[in-house]
Amino acid sequence: MPENSSTLTCAFHPKRETKLRCNRCDRPICVKCAIQTPTGYRCPECVRDQQKAFITVKWHDYLIGVLITGTLSFLGSLLAVRLRFFTIILTPVAGTMIETAVRKAISNRRSPVLYKVVGATAFIASLPMIVVQGLNSFSALVNFGWIAVNGLFPFVWIVVYAVMITSTIYYRFTS
């Protein structure tokens, strides 16, 4: 079979023949390299360059996000023990308020890493109260036995708070 000199090979896999091209840079790409976008297929480099344009965060935004989220999430964890059942209702509101405060403080700059850092900070800021309530609940069970099952509720509410505040903040940032 005669070789066709016009046969294209993938820019990233030179041994693979292809007829597909990146719709941005017109580079030949194989099916494995092609990334489908709403406007067609693109090569990995064009997609990476496009994604970098949406990452606008500055180094100090991480610090601001951690300080605001950590402070407000910790204060919320102090309240969660007292709010009991209302924790379920008020935690998403608190998460929305924290997300809004952080976004305003960092001027709506974006980064997927920032969202993960802020979400993790919300959980970490809840840990001191989880430990305190866990120790209190454990000591109540040891000292009073099953009579102290009610002593578990503050621990349960703080764990519920920690999970809900983390997921609310992360979801709000990524949506």
Give the model's confidence band at 7: pLDDT under 50 very low, under 70 low, under 90 confident, else very high.
confident
Give CA–CA dist 20/42, Å, rounded.
10
Q: How confident is the model at residue 80 (pLDDT cuts 50, 70, 90)?
A: very high
Share of the chain above pLDDT 90, in %: 70
More confident residue, 69 or 56: 69
Query: Region 47-62: what's the mean pLDDT?
Result: 86
Q: pLDDT above 70 covers what percent of the chain? A: 93
What six digits make up the tokens of 144?
A: 């009073």
Query: Model confidence over 121-170: pLDDT tens digits?
Result: 999 999 999 999 988 888 877 776 655 666 788 889 999 999 999 999 99
Specify the range with the lowest mean pLDDT, choosing from 42-51, 80-89, 99-108: 42-51
Pick the residue with more confidence: 174 or 105? 105
The DSSP bridge partners found for residue 21 are 28
Q: Is 18 helix (H, G, I), strand (E, B) or coil?
A: strand
pLDDT above 60: residue 5: no
What is residue 148's predicted lDDT score, i.e. its pLDDT? Answer: 60
Residues 65 and 134: their CA atoms lie apart, in Å, by 28
Q: How many CB atoms lie within 10 A of CB 125?
A: 23
Residue 1 has pLDDT above 50, yes or no: no
d(CA 31, CA 123) in angstroms, rounded, equals 41
